[in-house]
C-alpha cells in the first residue's frame, strides 16, 4: 500500500500482534481503529488468526461489517467457525449482507443447518436473500457452488449509449466488471463484450452489431476441477454459468478458481505424503493424528505382512541367511519406483497430459523399468560382491530380484491410479503409503521367490 509505506509489503511481526493484543486488552478502540484501518482486510485476517478467539471476536464486533465480512472470508476456517459461533444469527446476517453472493453462500453453508435458516431469514435485502438461497442449493464442488450472481448483462437490441447508461446502474453492485454478457429476450447467453469494446465503440451502434458471438461458458452442474481446467486452458478471468437451456445463471471469477487449484494441489500433495482431510500445520494434535494415523497403520500392516513372508522363507534359507540383510534395499527400491510411476500417472490424469491408453503407458513404464532396473542391479551387484563380499551367486540373485521388483513396482504403480480413476476414485490416493505398502510386500515376496528359484533352498 503506497499510503502506508513507500516500499514494503505487509509483514506479520510478533510486535504487531503484541501491539494489537495490548490495544484490545486496554479497550483502546480508537487506536485499534486507526491502526487496523491502514491494513488490507486480508492482512487483518492474518493478525486475527494469531490472536486468541476472544480478542479476534472483539475486533470483529468493533469494526464495521463492510470490513469484517471480508476479514471473515480470509480467516483460517477453524477460526472463522469459532468466531461465527459467538455471533448471533442477526450479526452473521449483517456480515453476509455485505458480501458477494458466492462468498455469502460459502459462509452460510459452513454453519450448522438450523442456524443457516435463522441467518437467511435475518437477511434484509430480499433480492440478495433469494440469490443466496439459490446458490446454497448447488453442490459445493460444481460450477453452481462456485458462481456468484453479480454480473453485468445487456440485451442484444440495446445501443452502446443505452448500455453504458444501464451498466452504470448494474455496475454499482459488481466490484469488478470482467465481461459484459449479452443475452436474448429469454435471458439466454448469446455472446459477450468487454467494457473496452463498449468504450471503443460509437455510442449509437447496436450491441447486436458489436458483440462477440463466441463465448466460453460452463454448465451449472460442471465439476469445479473441470471448470478450473477450462479457465486455465483458455486463460479466462471469468466464465459465465448457464443451465441446460443456456439461460445465464451467474459467473465464476478466476480468484475462486485459484483457490480451487491451490486446494486441489495441496490435497494431492498431502495424499501422496499419506495425510488425509486437508489438514494444516497449525491444526490440533488430535486433528493431525486423525489425518495421519490411519495411513501409518496401513504401513504397519504391510510391515507385518512382510514379516510373515520373511518368517516363512527364513526356515528354509539355511546358509543364505545373508539375503535378509538386503530386504531394506529391495523394499526401498520397490517403494520409490512405485511412487514415481504412480505420481506421473496421477499428475498426467489431473492435467489431461497422459494418454488414456493404459496399455501404451504400461509398455512405456515397462521399458523405463528395464533401463532403471539394469542400472540399479549393476550398481548393487558390484557393491554387494566387491564391498560386502557377498558370494557371486547371491549378488546375481539380488541383481535379478531388483530388476524384477522394479518392473513389478512400476507396473503396479502405473496400473492402480488408472484403475482408481476409471472407478471414479481420486487416483491421488494411490501415490501415498497405499502404493508404497503394497509394493513393499509384493517386492519382498518377489525377492524371496526369485532367490528360492536361483539358490534352490
Give the nearer residue to a second copy in terms of CB position, either 191 or 250: 191
Binders of a second copy among residues 209 to 228 (CB under 8 A) are: 213-217, 219
Is 418 a binding residue for a second copy by CB under 8 A? The answer is no
Dihedral of the CA atoms 239, 243, 247, 252 (nearest 10)?
-20
Enumerate residues 17-46 that contact a second copy by CB under 8 A.
40, 42
- Among positions 239-278, residues that touch a second copy (CB under 8 A) are 244, 246, 254-255, 257-259, 261-262, 265-266, 268-270, 272-275
Q: At what angle do helices 77-86 and 65-74 cross, to 10 degrees?
A: 140
In whole angstroms, give the CA distance from residue 61 to residue 89: 14
Q: Per-residue string for binding with a second copy, 352-381, x by CB under 8 A? A: -xxx-----x--x--xx--xx--xx--xx-
Contacts (CB under 8 A) with a second copy, residues 86-115: none
Cα dihedral 276→280→282→288 (10° resolution)? 0
Cell numbers linked to 379: 550398481
Q: Phi and psi at residue 250, in whole multiples of 5°?
A: 180, -165
Q: Residue 78 has which C-alpha cell?
A: 477453524
Of positions 85, 289, 425, 453, contacts a second copy by CB under 8 A: 289
What distance in Å separates the CA atoms of residue 102 and residue 148, rounded to the nearest whole number?
A: 4
Which of 116, 122, 187, 347 is in the footprint of a second copy by CB under 8 A? 347
Q: Is 397 among the residues that bind a second copy (CB under 8 A)? A: no
CB of 134 to a second copy, least distance (A): 22
Helix (H, G, I), strand (E, B) or coil at 423: coil
Going by the DSSP 8-state scheme, the letter that residue 139 receives in this structure is: -
- For position 326 contacting a second copy by CB under 8 A, the verdict is yes
Strand bridging mode 180-183 / 189-193: antiparallel
The residue (of 119 and 151) whose beta carbon lies closer to a second copy is 151
Nearer to a second copy, 111 or 181 (CB): 181
Asked if residue 168 binds a second copy (CB under 8 A), the reply is yes
Considering beta carbons, is residue 168 or 423 the nearer one to a second copy?
168
10 Å CB burial of residue 248 (0-12, 13-18, 19+) is: buried
Choosing from 25, 307, 316, 453, the residue that interacts with a second copy (CB under 8 A) is 307
Amino acid at each position: 500500500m503506497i499510503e502506508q509505506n513507500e516500499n514494503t509489503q505487509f509483514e506479520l511481526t510478533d510486535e504487531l500482534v503484541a501491539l494489537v493484543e495490548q490495544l484490545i486488552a486496554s479497550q483502546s478502540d480508537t487506536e485499534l481503529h486507526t491502526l487496523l484501518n491502514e491494513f488490507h482486510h486480508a492482512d487483518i485476517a492474518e493478525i486475527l488468526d494469531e490472536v486468541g478467539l476472544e480478542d479476534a471476536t472483539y475486533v470483529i464486533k468493533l469494526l464495521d461489517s463492510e470490513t469484517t465480512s471480508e476479514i471473515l472470508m480470509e480467516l483460517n476456517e477453524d477460526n472463522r467457525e469459532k468466531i461465527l459461533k459467538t455471533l448471533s444469527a442477526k450479526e452473521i446476517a449483517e456480515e453476509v449482507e455485505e458480501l458477494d453472493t458466492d462468498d455469502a453462500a460459502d459462509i452460510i453453508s459452513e454453519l450448522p443447518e438450523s442456524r443457516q435458516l435463522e441467518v437467511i431469514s435475518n437477511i434484509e435485502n430480499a433480492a440478495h436473500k433469494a440469490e443466496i438461497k439459490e446458490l446454497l442449493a448447488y453442490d459445493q464442488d460444481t460450477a453452481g457452488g462456485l458462481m456468484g450472481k453479480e454480473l453485468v448483462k445487456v440485451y442484444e437490441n440495446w445501443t452502446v449509449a443505452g448500455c453504458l447508461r444501464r451498466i452504470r446502474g448494474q455496475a454499482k453492485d459488481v466490484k469488478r466488471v470482467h465481461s459484459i454478457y449479452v443475452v436474448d429476450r429469454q435471458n439466454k447467453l448469446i455472446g459477450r463484450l468487454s467494457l473496452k469494446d463498449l468504450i471503443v465503440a460509437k455510442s449509437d451502434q447496436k450491441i447486436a452489431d458489436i458483440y462477440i458471438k463466441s463465448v466460453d461458458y460452463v454448465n451449472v452442474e460442471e465439476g469445479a476441477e473441470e471448470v478450473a481446467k477450462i479457465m486455465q486452458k483458455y486463460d479466462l478471468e471469468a466464465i459465465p454459468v448457464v443451465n441446460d437451456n443456456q439461460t445465464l445463471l451467474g459467473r465464476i471469477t478466476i480468484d475462486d478458481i485459484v483457490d480451487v487449484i491451490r486446494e486441489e494441489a495441496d490435497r494431492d500433495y498431502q495424499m501422496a505424503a499419506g495425510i488425509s482431510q486437508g489438514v494444516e500445520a497449525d491444526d490440533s494434535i488430535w486433528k493431525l493424528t486423525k489425518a495421519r494415523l490411519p495411513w501409518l497403520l496401513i504401513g504397519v500392516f504391510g510391515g507385518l505382512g512382510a514379516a510373515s513372508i520373511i518368517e516363512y522363507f527364513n526356515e528354509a534359507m539355511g546358509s543364505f541367511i545373508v539375503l535378509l540383510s538386503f530386504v531394506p534395499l529391495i523394499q526401498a527400491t520397490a517403494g520409490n519406483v512405485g511412487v514415481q510411476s504412480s505420481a506421473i500417472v496421477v499428475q498426467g490424469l489431473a492435467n489431461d497430459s497422459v494418454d488414456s491408453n493404459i496399455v501404451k503407458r504400461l509398455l512405456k513404464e515397462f521399458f523405463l523399468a528395464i533401463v532403471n532396473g539394469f542400472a540399479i542391479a549393476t550398481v548393487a551387484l558390484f557393491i554387494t560382491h566387491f564391498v560386502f563380499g557377498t558370494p557371486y551367486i547371491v549378488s546375481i540373485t539380488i541383481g535379478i530380484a531388483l530388476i524384477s521388483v522394479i518392473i513389478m513396482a512400476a507396473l503396479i504403480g502405473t496400473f492402480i491410479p488408472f484403475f482408481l480413476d476409471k472407478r471414479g476414485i481420486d487416483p491421488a490416493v494411490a501415490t501415498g503409503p497405499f502404493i508404497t505398502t503394497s509394493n513393499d510386500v509384493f517386492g519382498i515376496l518377489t525377492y524371496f521367490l526369485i532367490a528360492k528359484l536361483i539358490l534352490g533352498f
